[in-house]
Structure 1
Amino acid sequence: MQKIPLELARSGMTLAQPVSRENGITIVGEGVELTDALIDRLQGMKISRVVVKGNPVQLEGGGASAFDQRLSRLDHLFRGYADDQWMRKVKAFLTNYFRLKAAAQAAAEAAEVEEEAVEPQDEQRSEKDAE
């Protein structure tokens, strides 16, 4: 089970927990398979995160983004608070936050690269059609 930003959700993933609004009303039940239309609808409802089955998104980055660099510094920043329960919770929250942000950034960059790769193919097709 993995809680991921809705931007990283893909068609075919299965919900591990129901998706609810802030007021507690369930929008989509547990076990429902996500589709592109459902993801678009959830984005329109301002849903930011979903919990999906398994671990479909790799949250460990390659260290290239600013979020990965911040994540790598957390151990150093919290080194003096090993016995403080509150600070351990803060560190765990920040670790999860930076992992999600790094994964979202990596996914956005990958989508951008994929989109750039598709554009030249479309141009080649239109040139062939013009001939």
Structure 2
Amino acid sequence: MQKIPLTLAKPGMILAKPVTRPDGIAVAAAGSELSQSILDRFDTMGVTHVVVEGEPVRLDGQPGGTSYDKRLERLDFLFRKFPDDKWMGQIKRLLDRYFRMKAAASAAVAEAAKAASQPEAAAEPAEKSPTKDA
């Protein structure tokens, strides 16, 4: 879930929180799928930000990468004030293990999708190469 400017919202995104006008009146419910007409309507109503579900969107407009890797990088910084606290150390280790597991799972899914998208012709030359050696 991430709060993003309306300019970065794209059709197909799902709202994580209701959208309200600046005067507080709700105009869309959480769980609604955004369409271009809804985004245009939000713009005319003065809505500036929406909270969407899913992986984070980079605020420079580029698609987000794996957020788990970014979170792993920040753990040392986030727990810097508690170097000797046994409980905070345990929480840090649990988060580290969790983010590593999720990052590995995301990488495996991406690799499987990449392998599935490649044509099967790439597998045929590998089968033919042993016959050349014989």
**TM bin (shorter chain):** 0.3 to 0.5
Q: Which has the higher contact order (CA 8 A, sep 6+)?
A: 1
Instruction: Kindly name which structure, 1 or 2, has the bigger radius of gyration based on alpha carbons.
Output: 2
TM-score, normalized by length of structure 1?
0.44
